[in-house]
Structure 1
Amino acid sequence: MFTAEDPIVGIDLDDCRDPDTGDVDDDAQDIIDRLDSYTEISPSGTGYHVLINGDLPEGRNRRGHIELYDTARFFTVTGNRVDDTSGHVKRRQDALEAIHREYVQLHSEKFEPERDEHTSVRDDAKTTPTISLEDDELLKKAKNASNGPKFERLWNGNTAGYDSNSEADMALCCLLAFWTGGDTTQMDTLFRQSGLLRAKWDEVHYADGSTYGEKTIDRAIEATSEYYDPSPRNESTQSKLETGPETTVVDTDEPGRRNAYLLEKNQLLSTRVSELEATIEQKDERIAALERQVEDLSAEPSGQSDEDDREQGQRTGGTEDNSEALLKSY
């Protein structure tokens, strides 16, 4: 049972393993590899339990078949440890935060983009709006939006700031879901034109026969609660979105764009600060361990010196006894 007093976090991965063949879904394998801690097969045989030492990040703790717990939850322990995984529960704070951000928290209520007159909320996660934007027009709008620099970096294949290529793929697909209204065909077509495309995109990585690309698109649509609405509700805003780099217009909504930029920048900085704090904590633990090791090593020469003194005393005492014997003989 997880409690507030212990440092253990449990990651529950459901419906990701074929109990007959042992085949593992790509997402589950990615999480297991990155956490690199004690992992065992769940009682049903269709999932995994991973145990680590760490602090569960704030926000939601579950999405789809992935759940994370650190208190008020029971795990049935099978002892059926996965081959080639650690036999110890390790501290994995950085990996936990990255996985939480990528698989659970990404585009949740805490990270929703700034809304304007061209943003609509999708009430039903199973339906998406109809947006008829040609690829070139969509790319132009995406690059000129408040988070355009982020889109363009990902579009060009730049994964800086992401812990893995998979996380960068997911981030770009979430942006594409917003601009296409969740059109899976157009999302796939556009992603294949991006610098992030890899051979892995078309590889089958899931027990249901889905490819890595198909599952990434499905997850992105599920994670996206807002989409671009092309209906022109504000003339100045419409002009702003359609303005190219060589056109000058009076931007009456610049404060809103500025706020969106600052909000996103603050979120990225907060995430980076959290990662650095976790790194500092790990380094402090390492320094403390090294200081203890230094103390132990410092104590060893002292003990050896005492032993040497005793041996020297014995040798000196022996010499004095011999001297007295010689004097008596004279």
Structure 2
Amino acid sequence: MDLLPPALVPLAAWPQFVTWRLVPSARAGKMDKLPVSWRDGKLASSMDPAGWGTFEQCRDAVHAGRGQGIGFVFTEADPFWFLDIDGALQPNGQWSPLATDLCRRFAGAAVEVSQSGTGLHIIGSGTVPEHGCKNVAHGLELYHRWRFVALTGVHASGNAATDHTPTLAATVAQLFPPGAKAGAGPDEWTTEPVEGAEPPATDDDLIRRALASGDRSAAAAFGGDASGTVTFRDLWEGNDDALAARWPSSTGDGYDRSSADAALAAHLAFWTGKNCERIRDLMYRSALVRDKWELRGDYYLPRTILRACGVSTEVVKGASAPLPPPPDAAQAEAAGIALREGTTEYMGVDGQLDHFRGCVYVRADDRVYTPDGDLLNQSRFNATYGGYQFVLDPQGQKFTTAAWEAFTQNRVYQAPRCHALCFRPEQPSGALVPEEGRVLLNTYVPIETQRIAGDASPFLELVAKLLPNERDRAILLSYMASLVQNPGHKFQWWPVLQGTEGNGKTAILRVLSFAVGNRYTHLVDPQKMAQRGINFNGWIQGNLFVGLEEIHVAERRNFLEQFKAYVTNDRLPLEKKGVDEFTGDNRVNGIMLTNHRDGVPINVDSRRYAIFYTAQQTADDLVRDGMDGRYFPDFYDWLYGRHAYAQHGPNYGLAIVNDYLHTLEPVAEFDPAQLCVRAPETTSTAAALVASRGRAEQEIVEAIEQGRPGFANGWISSKAVDELLDRIRANVPRTKRREMLQRLGYDYHPHLPDGRVNNVVQPDNAKPRLFIRLGHLVGNLTEPAAIAKRYQQDQAPGSHDDLAAQALGGENNS
């Protein structure tokens, strides 16, 4: 309603407007309209002038989301009265005879359709005689002070300034006689529930149900302006803070105790079916009991109870059969369940905003991301967040028990949404990240892994046994410490640990998995991946550490070429089962373990893998280094906190090593998060280069070392290579042969175009391409004829015998 309709314009002269919103009512399937401050949208009392404003102020507040509608508060200061006709619209679409009669009686007064669309509001002016407020039998209410009405302006006609004093007197006498309850409840003290009520059979059952209901609405019966901040539990248990916030005291007492008494009586009128005797007995069991009840016992409490019964319009139904007693805490714990406390069946918008806080709908996955980092489909989300009747619409007419529907299809608010997920530890957890016109949700959630300050000597002793060289140890420990201390920083190389079975390599993997957290660790089966290819690699996104055990891909170099991107790139094409390929974040770093010296082949230009050959290459080496007998059982007892270390708790050693890695300062030149962007050379690099050679490379090296024609004295002929590969039936494509020789330290003679001689040379009897060892002095020859001549001389039997051994790295003085 952007403008007051002419019929209601007279109200604007009094700045007594408020905003309101809907909350679930104690009445099943109903909603209550509670006033809120137009200034901040917080629940407020309609009787507090500080919360009133002009129509324009309240209208702007509603537009800003600080309320769902506008109301007007009737007071002694204004001349207006308000007649509410509930259920005026009949099933045939016609207004009821009573509604038509009342509109005719008050012809000229303002009339509008109520929010429900089935009632009418009549607003006029005039002197209002003493009167009752409710006529429940006819669904009527009449007020002229200390009440607010939710204005709609729908089909508004007439004029609220029209004076109807004579008609009011006659109508009050007929329908609202003063002092009468007009069918709202008993005038006399009752000892039984009213007809139609079905209250709980026992008082304990009644109290339990009322406490579990979380009801906030019965207090609205007194003044119609319950703030929504006081529950039955607050009243029953005497929650001073909640009661003082709802009913501040003007006498220095904690709160207005009479208002609290009246509110509790109103709650109990509903739950007892207006049984006055039972209400009194129950009130004496509450925390509100005070001396005044006894000192004025002849009239105060009875009058409070009678008034509560008189204004209560609803009574409990379907609760006569006692509920089975709930399990106590011990039973619940034994069954592995948690008991809810202070919950309510109905959950309004306010409750949902808290209940679903941190949840985000992810369009790409059709799932909801939750604050603890899980991605839940519809059924799992319902199981996790369900258990309530969720309000779906502003009118409170639509409910659902499905948390998914409440979150994704609510008509009052729109749930947070994103297009897809990202995994970026450098961003705040749960952050919505705008990127290229899309919104991504950061799924990284920081976790704390167990740490204990202690002596890490058993672990460091193992590392020293594996890597006796101090520099090698510094490289490995710097990598491990940096990985733990820099989650999400993409390193450019991985360590590869090689050694005999059972020498403790796996302990390195276990330590890092524990320090990073199992939640962010993935262990890969490298053999399966190498055989089948890197398919369905969605595991990359959302992990920080990857371990590959028992890797051996010497004959599958293409796999390593593919895997190189996983080591270095921070974005990769990802594919999950049943999901189209997409490009996602890759923040994993890792370590490879192998029993084979050629498990991860490298070449002279390799910069992705730092190879560590451990000191234990055979079972005899384990005995030599004292790693047999009780060594590993004792080590793993320490690591996992077992047997002799059980007193320290599980994972004792792991927690100590975790703390050690968190506090160890990496050596700067070996820190992969800082200066070390290429795999550093280790004491094993040279041997690893030799072990990495394939069969064809090994045969070529053998030919070089024998000084065979075509391979002698720092030269290699492409014709000799062709014949050797044919003889051993090695399938090396021609396009790959130069690359293979480059790995051995040979390349085309720099002064031969494409390495090819111009004329037939011997012993090839062909025009081959000629390769020379890098750094060979014959590279200084510039004339093709001189180059060809020198090649033929060097291949002659017995020529430069001393150069054969030097061809793989020695000094050539020719």
For Structure 1 versus Structure 2, the TM-score category normalised by the shorter chain is: 0.3 to 0.5
By percentage of residues, which structure has more strand?
2
| Greater Cα radius of gyration, structure 1 or 2 | 2
TM-score (norm 2): 0.17
TM-score (norm 1): 0.37
Greater relative contact order, per chain length (Cα 8 Å cut-off, separation 6+)? 1
